Amino acid sequence: MKKNVMAAGIFLSIFLLFIASSLTMCTAHSLATTNNSSGIDDLEFKLKTDKTTYEEGERVDITGFFTNTGTEVLKITFPSLLAYDIHIKDTEGIYVYDDYGHRLKPWNRTFKPGDTMTFGCYWTQLNNIGKSVDVGNYSIMGCAFVIYKGTEYRLTDSAPTIEITEEKSRAMPNNFLLFRFLQRFPVLAYLINL
């Protein structure tokens, strides 16, 4: 009986944790703004990658930009150590990587009109369980949680879709290496053709 109650408690805890993490996941439709013409609406969040095509295993460098596009000073609190989270999904819409877990000490930043703050991070093409992702296209979304005048807002942006291609050395046909070898030793090439 105790084992059943304990198992049910563990299952319920895991289920509630799953529901809570699902509710906090950023989606493309979750850009939170206010109806006023100044303030949090003036804090623009943009995301980009250093390029759009990568070989397997190549590091994907991602940069997030926060810019005050308004005319007033904005005092923003970032409730986590990193300014934004990254979420990567494949062409089927399945999330392959989420970098949650930075919710640490909050910090403040004042943005004067026109100020831009940049934050870089990277993805090593590993999924959430540490395995390399397949060759293909992936979309990268950034989600920034900010506090402005006591209210938490969620700002999102997506970088252009990236493509992961086969590593060039792996994509070469096997006879290419033989060809390069025989170029260096023409006598062997002559003997093989006899």
Least confident span in 72-81, 100-109, 184-193: 184-193
Q: How confident is the model at residue 56 (pLDDT cuts 50, 70, 90)?
A: very high
For the residues 18-41, what does the mean pLDDT come to? 43
Nearest to 43 by CA among 3, 83, 82, 7: 83
pLDDT of residue 83: 72
Least confident span in 49-58, 84-93, 180-189: 180-189
CA distance 68 to 44: 6
Contact 32, 24 (CB under 8 A): no
Is residue 71 scored above 90 in pLDDT?
Answer: yes
Cα 98 to Cα 103, 145, 179, 186: the distances in Å are: 14, 15, 44, 53
What's the pTM? 0.66
Least confident span in 18-27, 58-67, 162-171: 18-27
Summary mean pLDDT of the chain: 75
Residues 6+ apart with CB under 8 A from 2: none
10 Å Cβ neighbour count for 192? Answer: 9
For the residues 171-180, what does the mean pLDDT come to? 54
pLDDT of residue 174: 55
pLDDT of residue 19: 36
Tokens of 133: 């992702």
**The total number of residues written for the chain in this structure:** 194
For the residues 51-76, what does the mean pLDDT come to? 94
CA pseudo-torsion sign 10, 15, 19, 21:
positive
Structural domains of the chain sorted by starting position, each given as residue range(s) with its CATH number in brackets:
28-186 (2.60.40.2360)
Q: What is the DSSP letter of 42?
A: G
Residue whose entry in the numeric block shows the structure tokens 């989420």: 98
pLDDT of residue 70: 93
Q: Which residue has the higher pLDDT, 96 or 8?
A: 96
* Lateral strand order in the sheet of 60-68: 43-49, 60-68, 116-123
CA distance 67 to 113: 8
Is residue 28 scored above 90 in pLDDT?
Answer: no
